[in-house]
């Protein structure tokens, strides 16, 4: 794809992050949402997602744990395939990109931005905060940016850091051999996670371990 066509595709793909730029961010509303009980698709789609029955799962906990899981799944794929012949096959990357943990991680963050009218930059740790370490730490949790960071597959759209979904939208337009469109429509037709070779062999035991570690370290459970 030429640079001109890539730019046209990028401009045409309107994400939540772009729309939020013109609105007034309400961080207080985000904080309220973050601490509110979670009742979304994770509880239905992921078996034993929340393993602490005596503790109420909040939106913030769901967001943090599922984002951590997506990132660790990607890195585990990289390490698992290290030293084998050639680079990691695109079909295995697709399996992780289309795992519920990664797709729902993106959608939960989109929900948070839409509700608060904030960009991902506005929801990131601010330079005035003592724990600030990098620009857009909230933005980089997009699955497309995790893919870029882990495997160097960063695309051609040159997405702004404030445009949260832009990297994922670019991946969604790809067609992966033996899998389908990057938007995961092929995975859904094939029956979800159970039909995907790498996901079925590696992801389930990994998820349980990450849920425990992330919840304990982040929330003191």
* Alpha-carbon dihedral 75, 79, 80, 81, rounded to 10 degrees: 110
* pLDDT at residue 172, as a whole number: 97
H/E stretch holding 79: helix 59-81
The tokens describing 56, both together, are 């109420």
Q: Give the pLDDT score at 48.
A: 64
Residues 93/151, Cβ–Cβ less than 8 Å: yes
For 66, phi then psi, to 5°, come to: -70, -35
Domain spans in the chain, listed from the N-terminal domain onward? 3-219
CA atoms within 13 Å, Cβ hemisphere of 52: 16
For the question of whether the overall pTM of this predicted structure is more than 0.85, the answer is no
Q: How many residues appear in the chain?
A: 221
pLDDT computed for residue 182 by the predictor: 96
Exposed / middle / buried, residue 53 (Cβ in 10 Å: 0-12, 13-18, 19+): exposed
Residue 87 has what pLDDT? 84
d(CA 199, CA 95): 6
Environment class of 131 (CB within 10 Å of its CB; exposed 0-12, middle 13-18, buried 19+): exposed
Q: What is the mean pLDDT of each run of 10 residues along the chain (221 residues)?
A: 46 48 85 95 68 84 94 93 78 95 96 97 96 96 98 94 97 96 78 47 46 45 43
């Amino acid at each position: 794809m030429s640079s001109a066509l890539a730019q046209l595709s990028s401009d045409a793909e309107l994400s939540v992050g772009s729309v939020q730029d013109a609105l007034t961010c309400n961080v207080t509303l985000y904080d309220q949402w973050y601490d509110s009980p979670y009742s979304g698709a994770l509880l239905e789609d992921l078996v034993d997602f929340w393993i602490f029955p005596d503790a109420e799962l909040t939106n913030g906990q769901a967001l943090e744990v599922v984002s951590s899981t997506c990132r660790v799944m990607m890195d585990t794929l990289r390490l698992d395939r290290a030293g084998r012949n050639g680079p990691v096959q695109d079909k295995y990357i697709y399996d992780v990109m289309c795992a519920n943990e990664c797709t729902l991680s993106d959608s939960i963050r989109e929900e948070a931005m839409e509700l608060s009218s904030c960009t991902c930059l506005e929801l990131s740790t601010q330079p005035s905060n003592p724990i600030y370490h990098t620009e857009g730490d909230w933005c980089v949790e997009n699955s497309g940016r995790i893919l870029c960071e882990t495997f160097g597959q960063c695309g051609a759209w040159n997405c702004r850091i404030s445009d949260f979904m832009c990297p994922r939208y670019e991946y969604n337009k790809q067609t992966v051999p033996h899998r389908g469109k990057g938007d995961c429509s092929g995975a859904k037709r094939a029956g979800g996670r159970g039909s995907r070779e790498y996901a079925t062999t590696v992801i389930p035991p990994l998820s349980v371990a990450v849920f425990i570690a992330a919840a304990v370290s982040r929330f003191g459970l």
